[in-house]
Amino acid sequence: MRYWDYYIALENDLLACRRYVEFDASNMGSYSVEFMRLLLATCSEVEVLCKQLCRRISPEAKREHMAHYRTTLDPVLSLSTFQVEDLQTLRQFPPFVSWIRRDSPPWWDAYIQLQHDRSRHYETATLEHSINALAGLYVLNLYYHSGAVVAAELTPESRFFRPHALVRTKLFHAVAGYVLPNVEKLSPLGKVSSPFSLR
């Protein structure tokens, strides 16, 4: 599960930052080169998984930027209301909530700004954006690997997040065994036939 393995690597890198910056509300505006590196890497992977999920929902749909991902994914999967529990800060939040207003997530806007002018927008590389972007990537991975989630085969488990208030079918203290909302609307992995290449 190469996407999940990469997610876990990014998660471990972010968790390592806690040695230097406490994951507390008073530090969410802290910014650094390491947060910039993690935000750029995480959002790049968000883009990859958004394209993969869009392809499974609608192979012919445009998938070139965040607005396309939103218009394809949210009406089907309702990601804008999907809440995660942050096990480090004890927050509960939906990382894609801004899709309700048809806006890009603030962490995504920070990513785009950093891509275009890192010196001018360096202060947007914050702990908060890094955490929220990772939460977004976590949600996308759950849907991409939904079969493994239900079968309790998505390992190792995240030490950072878990779905909030979802139906558990097998285990009671882990992400494994959850039934994800609207997951039945995704084409199974390997079952998408399309003349369109992954853009």
DSSP string across 92-111: EE-TTGGGGGT---HHHHHH
pLDDT of residue 198: 35
90-126 pLDDT per residue, tens:
999 999 999 999 999 999 999 999 999 999 999 999 9
The amino acid at 189: L
- How does pLDDT run across 139-165, given as a tens digit for each residue? 999 999 998 888 888 999 999 999 985
CB hemisphere CA count around 47 (13 angstroms): 16
Q: What pLDDT shows up at residue 165? A: 57
Per the omega criterion (within 30 degrees of 0), is the bond before 75 cis?
no
Q: Which residue has the higher pLDDT, 150 or 40?
A: 40
Q: What is the DSSP letter of 126?
A: B
Dihedral Cα 11, 76, 55, 116, nearest 10 deg: -50
Mean pLDDT, the chain, as a whole number?
A: 89
